Amino acid sequence: MTAVIKEEAFAKTMTATAYLKIRQLILENKWPPGFQATEQEVASTLGMSRTPVREALLRLQQEGLVSVIPRHGMRVLPVSLSDMKEIYEILTSLESTAAELAAGRDLSEEQLNALERATADMDKALADDDLDRWAQADARFHEQLLELGGNQMLKSVVLNFIDRAHRVRMLTLRMRPKPVNSTRDHAELVDAIRARDVVRAGKIHRAHRERAGRELLDLLERFGLNHL
């Protein structure tokens, strides 16, 4: 490997590291909506140079998480009520397609067991009243479902919108009723995928996302949370 290639590989690695660190700070609400920082301040926080930070911020801007302001750094974008409505419409449609694709494939027991383990972890977390652990298991279920659908482009698009909704879901997690319905929906979906029932898998997951979206939007409206 030549010196130039090594330098390019290192630069890509640093940009990817900056991207993941900034994204985590945003998704965990450590940098809440409206948070602003200069490029140099972000670089200092991460202990990195400005070049990979600049490239990472531009990528996050494309994903709708930040706004890059020339000569002024970046601002974490809020998520509005109308944003969440549109995001859940996208998730309902595309994730239901992923569920249908998964049901149409010849999946192994090992692959199906991964979905069942995530569902069991959700059940255990609810029994322990650990909503953070429940949310982690729920996120793992949805990511595994997208992977089992076998369409990597669809997975990439959906995960981007899941990320944009994540901050709102976590901020409202303890404001909502205990999410017992989600675990039941997931178990029914796994049964449909195992039976290779494409139509049933799509219907179950569409109803699941529609209900979740409706409950979240009703909550935001009830508390007047138009921007988060």
Final residue belonging to a domain, choices 76, 98, 113: 76
pLDDT by residue, tens only, the chain of 228 residues: 454 344 455 457 899 999 999 999 998 889 988 899 999 999 999 999 999 999 999 999 998 889 998 877 899 988 888 999 999 999 999 999 999 999 999 999 999 999 999 999 999 999 999 999 999 999 999 999 999 999 999 999 999 899 888 888 888 888 888 888 899 999 999 999 999 999 999 999 999 999 999 999 999 888 877 666
Domain boundary among 32, 49, 76: 76
Same domain, 103 and 174: yes
Structural domain contains residue 227:
no
The parent domain of residue 137 ranges over 81-222
Q: Quick one: pLDDT at residue 201?
A: 98
The residue from 76, 99, 125 where one domain ends is: 76
| Whether residues 92 and 187 fall in one domain | yes
pLDDT the model gives residue 191: 97
CATH code, domain carrying 187: 1.20.120.530
pTM of the full structure: 0.82
SS (H, E, C) the chain: CCHHHHHHHHHHHHHHHHHHHHHHHHHCCCCCCCCEECHHHHHHHHCCCHHHHHHHHHHHHHCCCEEEECCCEEEECCCEHHHHHHHHHHHHHHHHHHHHHHHCCCCCHHHHHHHHHHHHHHHHHHHCCCHHHHHHHHHHHHHHHHHHHCCHHHHHHHHHHHHHHHHHHHHCCCCCCCCHHHHHHHHHHHHHHHCCCHHHHHHHHHHHHHHHHHHHHHHHHHCCCCEC
